[in-house]
Structure 1
């Protein structure tokens, strides 16, 4: 079975989008570490839009439905989001400018080693103090410290949430529900100061991809709506403002009849303390001394449908990027990454709403890992 390619973090990834944009806006970046400069055009003001679930490969195949994005295809490149390719991790990567192993937000569900329990990094229900779990400064904080007007636009429930506090803190938050209202808010914000960094989040592409599958009629119709609002946003920007569009992950359609449900596979649960991660990037936390046997059982059952690696092997392979020592225990003792369209679920603990989903992500396939980066320079310097 082929070895999965680790994300090419050093060559430019989602971790480099916000630092590169901040640098283009004049924010000092000497202490940013080993990240890549994406060479974004200098500007006085900038808007960055993150479209949740808009994978680079899905977008490329549906550009016929997105005339504004199609008109900028020469300015578009694909970047790896990072592993696991999931929203909670990618938001940490985007906000801090660090690969997952650097910021430590390592999955949809992750073990808190100090308390021996798994929590959901997306909902943050009963989670640790966000600023302690992820203490690195974000690029929104850096930009605000440098005097930029920093505004984040999204749904109201994001304001003060655990994930926002951990990954995206800095500046002020503006709540808006409809995409058109968020575009209006972004335009007001970017016009409000001579130097500004405005962030806009939109999640409906991801939601429809999960429910119906990526590139379905419903998904494509939403892409058309997003494209129209991006065109309106671009047309309304001040002449000295740039526009950058990216995403947090792609998606793969995973048929229900080919999934593996661990609740009906007692051999997969022997020696297992907790399951974390997501259906395409399962992190298995084992009882003391059981990791080797657990890895062998999962490898035998899944065969060539998944890559089963020990924590040490996954870290050495560079899947998470360089992993800080304090984050190692958050990684599963065994890391199981689905190949093809496999999803590993657990009907014993997952809500039916999650079990019903079609679109999945979290692994290392290009379809879920690669995200677009579209950068439109300012009309004037």
Structure 2
């Protein structure tokens, strides 16, 4: 076949040909996103990722998301009441966390950020333990080895390196467990994450990098952080990446199961980008109305992960009114327990921040301590007068 004949055959037809070619090219540029449950609650299939779940399992996933959201709402309210110093809400990201958390085995190990309250729930960590650190009364709140769930990491992106090193150790030990590192779209710009990708690829570490792309790194949108979809970054490091509908708990469950199984069987790392949305503020110290439009939030409300699964349960008659009523009561019970747990916690020690810094003390720390003591004492003087 000649070059001329090839060109002639590839030339678009005059009737709508150019428009069709443009549409095809635009479609090719759109990243594929794995989805098994539409926003309207309809089940769909995917050629690579499928899942068979019973009605009971669907109800369990729904229960997990509802209780996680209720706990999160209570914690946010407690911070507003002055009981917590700070709180990072997961509102809108329940499916990404519950779907991935329920895909893991007990012997898998998780390295979270500071927002994985839903994953903590799946790992069996008592939700009230999450409050201690944000109240300032402990240095973590739980034993990481008890649930294979590491302490929360405040330093952005550093847990990706910790997870990679741990996974390299797992491989050296000959174990068949997987390691999961959670981070956000903002953390994907950190050098620690890039280094973790490099080491994980070179050493074929059994680690899954789970990125919750909630569209905003505090006040910076994703398009200001990357020129390609985040999951495609994995290609440059030599391992696969996939984008999943992060508001679809079934798709997240299926993709994460495949990713951790791939890691367990010696096929190396994988990047999962859960495409979701942060419905609330980055933390309770943030005001999202200053940098994003309300219309954007409203458009994502229609994709709410909990509403999506409830619609499916009701359409398919997989849950009755008694189930939802009982879950509401369980949710209220959890909320009361969370509030009561705060009342039993001690007030934080304001001077503890100056301890355990230097073994033999330090002049600057001593000066700062003295200044802060004087500042605290000034309030007592005002009350006395």
Normalised to the residue count of structure 1, the TM-score between the two structures is 0.32
Report the structure, 1 or 2, having the larger helix content: 2
TM-score, structure 2 length as denominator? 0.32
Higher relative strand content: 1
Structure 1 or 2, whichever has the larger Rg, is 2
